[in-house]
Structure 1
Amino acid sequence: MLKKYIKVTATFDCDGSLVPDYLFWDDNRRYKIDRITDVRYASSLKAGGCGIRYTCRILGKERYVFLEENKWFVEVKEC
């Protein structure tokens, strides 16, 4: 697995929490995050790196979205 840095739009909640709303892929396709089921500090065991891991439901599938320092990434399969 590799780390793929992506563009994310996010909102600061009224308690100061940063909540991702949309992911943008290379071709500018936009994916709405339907639900966030968990937020925790964790490592990406598959791609390396660590930060805040958001467990998200996107198009009916569960995906991890990581905030590492000031950059967002997801885990993708190698080509």
Structure 2
Amino acid sequence: MKLFKKYVKVISLCDEDGNLTPGYIVWINGQKYKIDKVLESRQAASPAGGCGIRYRCLIDGRERNLFYETNRWFVETYRP
């Protein structure tokens, strides 16, 4: 199944060393989803296209990839 990039708003924290930690994803309809845990963060490419820092996150017990790509955030979705 083909993946698409969906750019989203993210509420994140930036510490004194410049490290970003995402806290919430704000979906297009304004719904906020709390990121329960960041499992891993590293430089990676997305099968949907693009690359950046990939955050493997737990959101409502489900694992999702969230990417920080040149000052923008996106998630991988199955719908454009």
Identify the TM-score tier after normalising by the shorter chain: over 0.9
Name the residue aligned to 1:33. 35
Which of these residues, 1, 6, 9, is aligned with residue 7 of structure 1? 9
Structure 2 stretches of 5 or more lacking a match?
none
Q: CA deviation at 1:12?
A: 1.0
- In the aligned structure 2, how far is the partner of 1:34 from the partner of 1:77? 22
User: What is the aligned partner in structure 2 of residue 20 from structure 1?
Assistant: 22
- TM-score under structure 1 length normalisation: 0.93
Instruction: Give the Cα–Cα distance (whole angstroms) in 1 for the partners of residues 79 and 26 of structure 2.
Output: 19
Task: Name the counterpart of 2:67.
Answer: 66
Q: Percent identity?
A: 50
- Which residue does 1:51 correspond to in 2? 52
C-alpha distance in 2 between matches for 1:9 and 1:38: 18
| C-alpha separation in 2, matches of 1:78 and 1:12 | 30
Q: Which runs of 4+ in 1 moved over 6 A?
A: none
Structure 1: which 5+ runs fail to align? none
